[in-house]
A and B are shown apart, each in its own frame.
Chain A
Amino acid sequence: MIKIENLHKSYKMGSNSLHVLKGINFSVEEGELVAIMGSSGSGKSTLLNILGMLDGLDEGSYILDGVPIKDLNETKAANYRNKFLGFIFQSFNLINYKNAMENVALPLYYQKVGRKERQDKALKYLEQVGLKDWATHLPSELSGGQKQRVAIARAMAAEPKVLLADEPTGALDSTTSYEVMDLIQKINDEGNTILVVTHEPDIADMCKRIVHLKDGVIVEDKKVKQVRASQYV
């Protein structure tokens, strides 16, 4: 599904150049649930940005579902993002003046899906995350966990190849975190490929594989026995 070879990325800070990713080799099969761990400054967010086509790479190759991702202009990147990727953010990033259903339907708008179908699909995904009754509520009327579930439904709505979650539980208390992880595990059980960036070991343990980044290189890449979140819920 994802294949990265010899990935380098550096940022220019004035006259200095900050080498953030120093040759990453990494691949993800379909249906995997991968945790990317590392302390801040280890390059995990940069890696996620590159995977999410939100940032370009300097050197190396990136192949997503057989498509080489290179020489992206804004339009192409937008197309790929829309087709291949679903994002889940730490701060949810729902549009505050749109209700839950409209937020979930938004990626479908950019896939040029008709209004009626958008609403039907959005309701379906809201039901999956258990928030069908909250469809007409604005984000401000939802709790943090509910917001993140709406965000997950939104990421799912586009039916992406890969879900990228950037600290999805970072803004949540532990009970809610486990609920969200439970949902992510269930989505993964259906065969979706998911990458989770986290710095919390208990969250990482709920994935099937943990990749440790340190100073821009992968220091550890191991399969783990998945801890089911449902037992804590």
Chain B
Amino acid sequence: MFDIERWQEIFDTIRKNKLRTFLTGLSVASGIFILVILLGFGQGMQNGIAAEFKEDAATSLWVWPRRTSLEYNGLNPGRRIQLKNDNFETITTTLNSDFEKASMLYFPRDVQVVYNNDLLVYNVAGTNGDLQTIENEFLTEGRYINETDVRENAKVVVISNKIKREVFADLETPIGEYLTISGAGFRIIGVFGEHGKQENEEERMFIPITTAQLTFNGADNINNMNFMLPELDSFDEMVAENTKFTDQLMRFLKQKHNIAPEDDRAIRIWNPIQEAERYYSLGKGIEIFFWGVGFFTIIAGVVSVSNIMLIVVKERTREIGIRKALGAQPWSIIGMIMHEAIFVTAIAGFTGLIFSMGLLEIVGPHVEVDYVLNPSVNFNVAVSTVLLLIIAGTLAGFFPAWKAVKVQVIEALRDE
């Protein structure tokens, strides 16, 4: 490897065979270029599809009450069910299921929101901090409602990006401003946003649930409970866990509120995992598809690099014979050919890699096509691919070189 004479011999060969070297290098470099771009767009498509489906957290479920539809225990059908704080507490403390997040929502009625003497038409909801994760909201500024706010009935409010845009466009930041909600001053502490195109969910502002119940005479009423279950390794496990939790929840609430066990209309549970199921299988399918595309592209790369090496060695059969006649050891010939091959493919391969990764890096973030988002390629994957192609090229060069060295000199010299 560090034999200077060998290097000189190789550089001689490369310099004197510029066209051959250039063509070999070009095909290897372009092969890797195409491969990396393809892998990048595969990733981009996966990102894009993931982004399209990235709305509410997939393992969340929403619970809200309706009216009973069946008579039960002497109670008439059509009775309105009201969820209470202690329902939520019982579920969170005693129901035997480990969920990651739990939140409740209270929607006060007839609320007036005023800012600078303008009446604003947005909904107000009381909640706690976990809602952010369950609704999959992101923060653009400030902070979300936290436990201290809930405990201390803090008069704070988190507004949406849309509200910020529509009401506070003149201000650098709405944080610290006060909104008057039904006569009480609420300080803005944060701005949230919704992923995707769910702008309608940005019509809301959130205040601590305790503050909401207290300020708007809500007593201990709640309108909504939300739970998020942990993500499990397999989707089937997740569905099973979800079903088990839903059943327990239903049984408990029906018992608590005197609802007929077979009355399915009194309590509604929205369970997006069914929708998620489609997303998951789609995501899996797409992942498999792009692994397939990547795999076959690599195979194609391996085949073409191998092909080039085969031709290069074939072309040198006569030279190998001459060198042998002059007393070259078989291994020195194989070593020389391999050395040159590895050198050329490595240089060309990494050139292709740098160009393609540069292109992805520059163009990638600006791609604005549906279902393609930030095409990029994992550096390790790309480097491994290049190494794989180099190894493949080397192996592909080795066997014909081995064969050429084994050929009788006389026959090699006859090879025109």
Q: Residues of A with Cβ closer than 8 Å to B?
A: 45, 49, 52, 54-55, 74-75, 78-79, 81-83, 85, 87, 89, 91, 93-95, 97-98, 102, 106-107, 109-112, 114-115, 154, 158
Q: A132 → chain B, closest Cβ, in Å?
A: 21
* Interchain Cβ contacts under 8 Å between A and B, 5 examples: A55-B410, A81-B327, A93-B321, A93-B413, A98-B16
Partner of B408, one of A55, A95, A102: A55
Q: Contact: A54 with B408, CB < 8 Å?
A: yes
B5 at the interface (CB under 8 A from A): yes
For the complex with contacts A52-B409, A79-B329, A95-B322, 18 further pairs of A-B residues with Cβ separation under 8 Å are: A49-B408, A49-B410, A54-B408, A54-B410, A74-B330, A75-B330, A78-B327, A91-B413, A93-B318, A93-B321, A94-B322, A97-B13, A102-B12, A107-B327, A110-B323, A110-B327, A111-B327, A154-B326
Contact A97-B17, Cβ < 8 Å, known A45-B410, A55-B410: yes
Residues on B with C-beta less than 8 A from A110 are: 323, 326-329, 332
Q: Contact: A75 with B331, CB < 8 Å?
A: yes
| Residue among A54, A94, A115 having the largest count of chain B Cβ atoms under 10 Å | A54
Q: B403 → chain A, closest Cβ, in Å?
A: 13
Q: Contact: A54 with B409, CB < 8 Å?
A: yes
Residues on B with C-beta less than 8 A from A114 are: 5
Q: B407 → chain A, closest Cβ, in Å?
A: 11
Q: Is the interface of B mostly helix, strand, loop or mixed?
A: helix
Q: What 1/0 mask marks residues of chain B from 306 to 327 whose CB sits below 8 Å from any chain A CB?
A: 0000000000001101111111
B73 at the interface (CB under 8 A from A): no
Q: Contact: A93 with B408, CB < 8 Å?
A: no
B117 at the interface (CB under 8 A from A): no
Contact A81-B325, Cβ < 8 Å, known A95-B319, A97-B17: yes
A154–B323 Cα distance when bound, in Å, is: 12
Partner of B322, one of A54, A55, A93: A93
B147 at the interface (CB under 8 A from A): no
Q: Contact: B325 with A109, CB < 8 Å?
A: no
A57–B22 Cα distance when bound, in Å, is: 44
Residues on B with C-beta less than 8 A from A54 are: 325, 408-410
Q: Contact: A75 with B329, CB < 8 Å?
A: yes
B9 at the interface (CB under 8 A from A): yes
B8 at the interface (CB under 8 A from A): yes
Residue of B nearest to A155 (CB): B326
Q: A159 → chain B, closest Cβ, in Å?
A: 12
A111–B330 Cα distance when bound, in Å, is: 14
